[in-house]
Structure 1
Amino acid sequence: MEPIVPFEPVAADDIPAGPQWAAQIKWDGVRMLVYFDGASTKLVNRRLHERTMQYPELADARRYCRAKSVILDGEIVAFDAARPSFHEVMRRDGIRNAQAVPAAVREIPVTYMVFDILYLDGEWVTGRSLEERQRLLARAVEPGAGVRLVENTADGEKLFDVMRKHGMEGIVVKDLASTYAVGGKDGRWRKIKVRRDLTAAVGGVTYGGGRVNALLLGLYDGQGRLHYIGHAGSGRLTGRDWADITAAAELLRMPDCPFAAKPPRSAGAVWIRPMLTAKVRYLEWTAGRTLRQPVIEAVSAGFGTDCTFDRLDETTV
């Protein structure tokens, strides 16, 4: 079985509603396809890199699948305090030494959340509707320890609200009539992510092509120390906005790093007095207390000392 590029959802802001749509939890794991030819099992990720070694508990599809041959699509998820943790699953996925696998299996248990079936008993089923594929999937897979079937929810708005309250990544909403487009990406599958926001102080900048292209962000603790929380360079800023930031950064240059500890990846950074603030949307906090996927919404002049950890919702840190 030659590995294939899986069907991808498109990013969306609105949650479609109606009987043709099914909402599912977006588990914030590693996308993984399981290939079983009747004799051997192979795990391959969305970038077509094999990961069978990293997940030995899933390396024999006969343990959880009744089919003679099959291709399954899903996400491998690791949990931290009952919540999916992208950081934890990447610790498993990043293993390159087979000798490290047994210890990782004990320390970082994973669950395969299966949501689709592409091939069954010698036949491609990608041309059938999602609704029909899900019926085939329920017959082919036997859920158990480490393997679960992803459930549909009719009310996408309600599921999204639950995800937001529990600090989860978001939802995927799928057209039940949709066929599976190998290597495709279109609006029949849509992902809606929970985003949080904060206002951070800007303590440094980096340059590209003669102007600022990224901001080094920070928040103050109770003792007035500025702690680095991440770089951000993408977002809604226009070329004029970046030109204005470049001009402001030139006026605010300082020789010493304003952060309590020098940030990683700061070679080439120019330190500035933290008198610019950035409104930033982000997905979650990482284990290292930096922002995951920060996106700049706006930058303004202001005293960054107002940007403190105690203004954050503790459940998001």
Structure 2
Amino acid sequence: MKFSDLALFLEKLEATSSRIEITKILANLFGKANANEIDKIVYLILGRLAPTYENVVFSIAERMMVVAIADAYKKEKSDVQKKYKELGDLGLTAYTLAKTTGLHDLAIPSVPEVYDELRRIAKDEGEKSVERKISGIAKLISRLDPLSVKFVTRIPVGRLRLGFSDKTILDALSWLEKGDKSAKRKLEKAYNMRPDIGYLAKLVKTKGLKDFSAGIKPDIKAPIAPMLAQRLKSPEEMVAKMGLVSVEPKYDGLRILIHYKKPDYLRTYTRNLNFIDKSVFPELASLGKCIKADEVILDTEAVGMDPKRQRLVDFQTTMQRRRKHGVTAKSGDIPLQFQVFDVLLKDGQSLLGEKYVDRRAILERTIINGPIIKIDEHTLTNDPREIKKLHKKYLKLGFEGIIVKKADSHYVSGRTGWRWVKMKEVETAAGKLADTIDCVVMGYTTGKGKRVGFGVGQFLAGIRAAGKIKTITKVGTGLTDEQFRELKSRLTKLEVKDKPLEYDVHKDLGPDFWVQPSLVVELAADEVTKSPKHTAGLALRFPR
């Protein structure tokens, strides 16, 4: 496919607000793509070059793109800046200059050619890489027609923003094969096991829906979407729904998936599948000494320790270990211990379909407990009274509560069925919610007073319901100064120009900046009340 043909599809997508119409346009696009290019097309229309967990970044600032546009069309940098200030969009700026200059090459490059060149530019590092990146972008866009230029110049600076996500791509793949969304659940299951939307699209294109799942299995080089806990009101209800259960302490730390292969392959991911460089966790340098296997994928909770008191620290203190600088000093002040509670892969064999008690047995034969990594303790029971007793015990010891797991449950990504259930301290607190709520950050407002320095005053949070993300609260408390700064850094990377299609927001609640629906936060509150403005129909009182 010529990139100019892809640009025509991008123009249609940009002009469309209906999710159904977007899905149909994407399905049509995928139908015209061949198997050797569909993965590249999928990445490009999402504004990236790889699955998110590979962390391939362009490192191209807007000022660099201004220089590249000026070089491509033989303009003064100041003229490009003036036009950009007038239009407010680098893509439109480049499009306008390309139309008036008419210097683009007549030999129209294909989608794979453009993708490969963008990837080469993104991978360029070292001395004078900035100059080479600018030169590479300038040469590339000088070969493109004006419409293609509009979209290509937006991609490296993170401004493509067509208003859809990986989940919309799954809908479109179902529509491509079935003419409707009936295959979405099957596709989502595969995506959770291998969250690489380009790889998945290529499998569907080459094998069809009937046989594509044979190519989906746990891989040491790709994360698996983690299993999440549901909520039930009482131990009695837990036993009634789950039968024999494993009761374990709930740690208030960082959910970390560890991928290790001898002799020294190590990658770590958060519960949102964000890659964390191993330099952030120097404790794991000696991990190989603690594992009796050639390769494993482990599900863990990283918790900070007070080295003087030999006690767990709170979540806010543990979060200080996420910083990129001063890691060595912080690892001495707040050493981490990785509490292991599941094993998903061992020596090439998937364990996702094994019963939980069997996975625990394999785990105990695989891990050598020590100060860095340790299997968490557990108790098998079907007695509600014992569950209550263990809940009180772990709260007294400083844990967040308990996790209750169905003894014969398989490992299933996401929050489905009554397999894992959590029970926290707030259950027994008068006037409080029975538990925290996982919410999606939808946007944020700039701060006032002290918050001006942070760039965030409040963020708008919502919950998923009926295929939409509906607002339930605005949050401006419960974060430290450092957390506000980190939140701003993360939200800036997720900003989008327009409200995402799946957001259902009252006109009076719109934030200053919208963000992609990819950051999930855990909120506590005193109670839930009815709300005429929040589109969930409910609001959190005193959220934090």
- Verify same fold: TM over 0.5: yes
Answer yes or no: is the 8 Å Cα contact 2:243–2:406 preserved in 1: no
1:77 Cα deviation from its structure 2 partner: 0.5
1:26 to 247, 250, 261: 250
In the alignment, residue 145 of structure 1 is paired with which amino acid? P
Once the two structures are TM-superposed, the CA of residue 60 in structure 1 deviates from its matched residue by 4.4
Is 1:9 the counterpart of 2:233? The answer is no
Give the structure 2 partner of residue 215 of structure 1.
none
1:162 aligns with 2:393: yes
- Residue 131 of structure 1 corresponds to 357
CA distance in 2, matches of 1:27, 1:62: 24
The change in CA–CA distance for 1:293 and 1:9 in structure 2 (over 3 A counts) is same
Gaps of 5+ in 1: 200-230, 235-263, 266-291, 300-317
Shift of 1:11: 2.0
More strand by share: 1
Distance 1:174 1:21 in 2: 5
Deviations 1:35-56 (A, max 9, x none): 0122311111111112222111
Cα distance in 2, alignment partners of residues 182 and 296 from structure 1? 29
Number of the residue aligned with 1:287? none
Q: Give the TM-score taking structure 2 as reference length.
A: 0.36
Match of 2:413 in 1: 182
For residues 76 and 156 of structure 1, do their structure 2 counterparts lie closer, same or farther at Cα, with a shift above 3 Å needed?
same
> What residue identity is the alignment partner of 2:248?
Q
Partner of 1:56: 282
Do the aligned partners of 2:290 and 2:368 also contact (CA within 8 Å) in 1? yes
Counterpart contact for 2:353–2:411, Cα < 8 Å: yes
Partner of 1:67 in structure 2? Answer: 293
Give, in angstroms, the shift of residue 107 of structure 1.
Answer: 0.6
* Change over 3 Å in CA distance of 1:59–1:10 after alignment to 2: farther
**Normalised TM-score (structure 1):** 0.60
Helix, strand or coil at the partner of 1:186: coil
| Contact 2:431-2:526 at 8 Å conserved across structures | no
Instruction: Note closer, same or farther for the CA distance 1:53–1:185 as it changes in structure 2 (3 Å cut).
Output: farther
Post-superposition CA distance 1:41-91 (Å, at most 9, x none): 111111111222211111443121111010000100013552441011100
**Following the alignment from structure 2 to structure 1, what is the Cα–Cα distance between the partners of residues 396 and 431?**
17
Contact 1:77 1:112 in 2 (8 A): yes
Match of 1:46 in 2: 271
Point out where structure 2 has 5 or more consecutive residues left out of the alignment: 1-220, 433-457, 462-482, 485-522, 531-544
Deviation, structure 1 residue 133? 0.5
SS of aligned partner of 2:319: helix
Q: Percent identity over the alignment?
A: 28
Q: Equivalent residue for 2:422?
A: 191
Q: 1:103: which partner in 2?
A: 329
Larger Rg: 2
- Offset, 1:168: 3.0
Aligned residue type for 2:254? V
In the TM superposition, what is the alpha-carbon distance from 1:19 to its structure 2 partner?
6.3
Contact 1:232–1:295 (8 Å) recurs in 2: no
Q: Compute the displacement of 1:101 (Å).
A: 1.1
The separation in 1 between residues aligned to 2:388 and 2:339, in whole angstroms, is 22
Give yes or no for contact 1:78–1:111 (8 Å, CA) kept in 2: yes
Q: Specify which structure has the higher proportion of helix.
A: 2
Indicate the RMSD between aligned Cα atoms, in angstroms: 2.9
2:320 is equivalent to residue 91 of structure 1: yes
Aligned residue runs from structure 1 range 235-250, under 5 A: none
Distance 1:233 1:161 in 2: 34
Residues 4-23 of structure 1, C-alpha deviations (whole Å, 9 max, x = no match): 11111112221224861110
How many angstroms apart in 2 are the aligned matches of 1:197 and 1:43? 39
Rate the CA distance shift 1:122–1:297 in 2: closer, same or farther, 3 A.
Answer: closer
2:342 touches 2:359 (CA, 8 Å); kept in 1? Answer: yes
CA contact (8 A) 1:174 1:189 kept: yes
Shift of 1:296: 2.7
1:177-223 deviations in Å (ceiling 9; x for gaps)? 00101345331100111113569xxxxxxxxxxxxxxxxxxxxxxxx
CA contact under 8 A between 2:252 and 2:314: conserved in structure 1?
Answer: yes
Displacement after TM superposition at 1:109 (Å): 0.8
State how far apart, in whole Å, the 1-side matches of 2:367 and 2:324 are. Answer: 29
The whole-number CA distance in structure 2 between the counterparts of 1:56 and 1:27 is 21
Match of 2:417, SS? Answer: strand
Q: Distance in 1 between matches of 2:398 and 2:261?
A: 38
- Asked if the contact 1:9–1:191 (Cα under 8 Å) also holds between the matched residues in 2, the reply is yes
Give the secondary structure class of the aligned counterpart of 2:391: helix
Instruction: Report the 3-state secondary structure (helix = DSSP H, G, I; strand = E; otherwise coil) of the residue aligned with 2:409.
Output: coil
Task: Report the CA distance shift for 1:7/1:62 in structure 2 as closer, same or farther (over 3 A).
Answer: same
Are 1:33 and 1:71, in contact at CA under 8 Å, matched by a contact in 2? yes
The 2-side partners of 1:186 and 1:232 are apart by 30
Q: CA deviation at 1:167?
A: 4.7
CA distance in 2, matches of 1:4, 1:96: 24
Higher relative contact order (CA 8 A, sep 6+): 1
